[in-house]
Amino acid sequence: MGFANKTDVDAVTAEMAWDDRDRAKTMYQFVDSVAQRHGDRPGVSFQILSGPKDKAETLSWKQFRDQSVQVANLLRRLGVGESDVVAYMLPVCNEAALTLIGGSIAGIANPVNPLLEAEQIGAILRETNAKVLVTLKGFPKTDVPQKAAEAVALAPNVEHVLEVDLNRYLTPPKSWIVPLIRPKVEAKHKAKVLNFTTEVAKQNTNLDFADSTGDRVAAYFHTGGTTGMPKVAQHTYDGMVYNGWLGHRLLFTENDNIICPLPLFHVFACHVILMAMISSGAHVIFPTPQGYRGDGVFDNFWKLIERWNVTFMITVPTALSALMQRPVDADVSSLQTAFSGSSPLPIELFKRFEKATGVEVVEGYGLTEATCLVSVNPNEGAKKIGSVGIPLPYTDVKILLDTADGPKECDTNEIGEICVSNPGVLAGRTYTEAKKNENLFHFGTHLRTGDLGRIDEDGYLFITGRAKDLIIRGGHNIDPAEIEEALAGHAAVAFVGAIGQPDAHAGEIPCAYVELVDGASVTTEELLAFAKDKVHEKAAHPKYIEVLDELPKTAVGKVFKPDLRKSAITRIYNAALSNAGVDAKVTAVVEDKQRGLVAHVTGGADDVAINGVLGSFTRPWDRAA
């Protein structure tokens, strides 16, 4: 199972047209099919604690199918029809996976990031007009129940709240202690509160209602915006099944065990992994409610691979960086592949992981607006470090430039905007809000991703920048506008430019450059404190602010961010080289047509020493001519 090159992908594409495949047309058919084929095999496992011998709950595919149907039956009894929305705001747990599937059988499932503020969650619940919210019952060391109660108070459309009690996953004495210290949640809303487990158990394991007759919108996923109302993307049965089919056709079989410490409100875990598990019958393990952020996950990670006989690990660059700071202290010989997404992987980190584990990292590319998957490096062929691989079967990627005569397709290795058409792209109505779909497509078919990139002579896709100007911190999208609007509210500030500065761990972290009002005076410490107070999401708090006499601007007075990025790369790289005692420095940062911004370095140190420092960052470097 796998592919080695573009020829293999073309062969899969030519094998049978996607629209003619004998495949599941609805989510019920999809999950029912895996139960029929692999019902007795392990399907989904969750352990609330990270220890290699801690209690875990494993649902066979038959059990997962039955409980998903019970969830769907319950939701239908609560008034959720095909066009109605059931939102869930949960940490990782089996109930989150069941709600995604059951919710999309009965109506439209809407995962919500529990790290958002209550006001943003409430805005999403209103935007999607959710009838039901599935969330946590009060539990130690989490504010999710409290935020959920506040959000529902802001969304009177929510009629029922179903509470999941994580205490059932614990063993004594911890399970005895939780009821004694459980925080009380004050509900200031009128929605009826029910126990999820109790109510689900009352339902039949066969559908109590007629299944959908075919393809329809089955999920809403909000984008990672940090200011105002995040955009809500619509996903259909066809797009969700397509993403699962890709994983089955190219990566997984029923004999694989996949560890996925990523959240079940994100398309990577939901569509790339869970749907692929349903399609293939493979086994997925979710460790701890917080995934990689859970207590002890990094320290126990290699032991968990040994415990579960893991063949594929799902990861992101920040997690790989943390894992490389810990010894490989278990038998990981079962591990075949590490699949990484969400943000670019530094070359040095790729090499360090391969040396430590003997396993190569497969990088891929996807986005919420395309349901998810677009391209991936071959698991059995050449992996071009720095690329995001080959466009997948039935996926057409065009690199386009806007011209006066309309979009122009770029030549090989020419940079333009990455535009995508595939079964996961809902052409013309990607977002729930019609206005946000304006100018989102070329030719009426190809989604404009906002990412800049190129395709090389072998068909590999490279991402070189972002037209949308987002800051991506460890895979989390941050809109610089929120930082700029907040700092612009300071009486001393005239202009602001927020960008992502390089970070060896998170890829990028927010920073800002400001120009002051004539005659004004303010310290950077005061501005940092002001931003911390005004920028609501912690991930978007700028970590560095610099006051310039004048910000670089375009001819029409817009802040020119490429110069700010060059300044940040120079500052961060030179500090890293100096701290490491490496005799080298960045003397210029230039725009390369194929690689984007490249740091030019001079100094007496050899390339190995320089790369040992700068290889931890995603932006490339060269020796200055």
pLDDT at site 1? 62
C-alpha–C-alpha distance, residues 123 and 152, integer Å: 10
Q: Is cis: bond before 173, omega within 30 of 0? A: yes
Please tell me whether residue 625 adopts helix, strand or coil conformation: coil
Averaged pLDDT for residues 266-293: 96
- Indicate if the pLDDT at residue 420 is higher than 60: yes
Structure tokens at 7: 């020829």
Task: For residue 72, count other CB atoms closer than 10 A to its CB.
Answer: 30
pLDDT by residue (tens digit) across 34-85? 999 999 999 999 999 999 999 999 999 999 999 999 999 999 999 999 999 9
Domain positions in the chain are: 6-421, 471-623
Which pLDDT score is estimated for 18? 61
- SS3 of the chain: helix, strand, coil, percent, to 5: 35, 25, 40
Q: Average pLDDT of 461-468?
A: 79
pLDDT value of residue 618: 87
More confident residue, 164 or 383: 164
> Mean pLDDT across the chain, nearest whole number?
91
Percent of the chain at pLDDT exceeding 70? 97
Give me the helix-helix angle, 61-77 and 94-106, nearest 10°: 60
17: Cβ contacts below 8 Å, ≥ 6 apart: none
pLDDT at 610 over 90: yes
Calpha distance 331→200 (Å, rounded): 39
Residue 314 · residue 259 · CB < 8 Å: yes
Backbone angles phi, psi at 370, to 5 degrees: -105, 25
Mean pLDDT of 470-499: 86
Of how many residues is the chain composed? Answer: 625
Task: Determine the Cα–Cα distance for residues 48 and 142; give it in Å rounded to an integer.
Answer: 14
Name the superfamily (CATH) of residues 471-623.
ANL, C-terminal domain (3.30.300.30)
- Whether the per-residue pLDDT at 233 is higher than 80: the answer is yes
Q: Between 252 and 322, where is the model more confident?
A: 252
Give yes or no for residue 238 having a pLDDT over 80: yes
pTM over 0.75: yes
> How many CA atoms lie less than 13 Å away from 511 in the CB half-sphere?
22
Tokens linked to 512: 């800002």
Q: How confident is the model at residue 9 (pLDDT cuts 50, 70, 90)?
A: confident
Q: Is the pLDDT of residue 134 over 70?
A: yes
**Token code pair at residue 490:** 């300071």
| Residue 279's pLDDT band (cuts 50, 70, 90) | very high
Q: Measured between alpha carbons, how far is 587 from 601 in angstroms, rounded to an integer? A: 6
57-61 long-range contacts, Cβ below 8 Å, gap at least 24? 57/94, 57/169, 59/94, 61/34, 61/35, 61/37, 61/281
Side chain identity, residue 326: R
DSSP letter assigned to residue 436? G
Per residue in 369-398, pLDDT (tens digit) is: 999 999 999 888 888 888 899 999 999 999
Q: Using one digit for the tens of pLDDT, what is the confidence trace for 185-224?
A: 888 899 999 999 999 999 999 999 999 998 999 999 998 6
- pLDDT score of 401 more than 70: yes
pLDDT for 224: 61
pLDDT of residue 126: 94
> Is the sign of the CA dihedral 373, 458, 387, 468 positive or negative?
negative
> Strand runs (DSSP E) across 367-506, as ranges?
373-376, 390-391, 396-403, 406-409, 416-421, 441-442, 446-455, 461-466, 471-473, 476-478, 493-503
> If you search the block for the tokens 């020493």, which residue do you land on?
609
Amino acid in the structure at residue 471: I
Q: Which of 62-76, 183-197, 444-458, 494-508 has the highest average model confidence (pLDDT)?
A: 62-76
Taking residue 625's Cβ as centre, other Cβ atoms within 10 Å add up to 6
452 bridge partner residues:
417, 465
Task: Give the SS3 label for residue 536.
Answer: coil
pLDDT, residue 415, reads: 86
Hey, what CATH topology would domain 6-421 get? Rossmann fold (3.40.50)
Alpha-carbon span 516 to 551, nearest angstrom: 10
* Single-letter residue type at 511: C
Q: What DSSP string runs through 57-82?
A: EEEEHHHHHHHHHHHHHHHHHTT--T
Q: Which helix (H) or strand (E) holds 586?
A: strand 585-592
pLDDT tens digits, one per residue of 287-338: 999 999 899 999 999 999 999 999 999 998 878 888 988 999 999 999 999 9
Beta partners for residue 588, in sequence order: 600
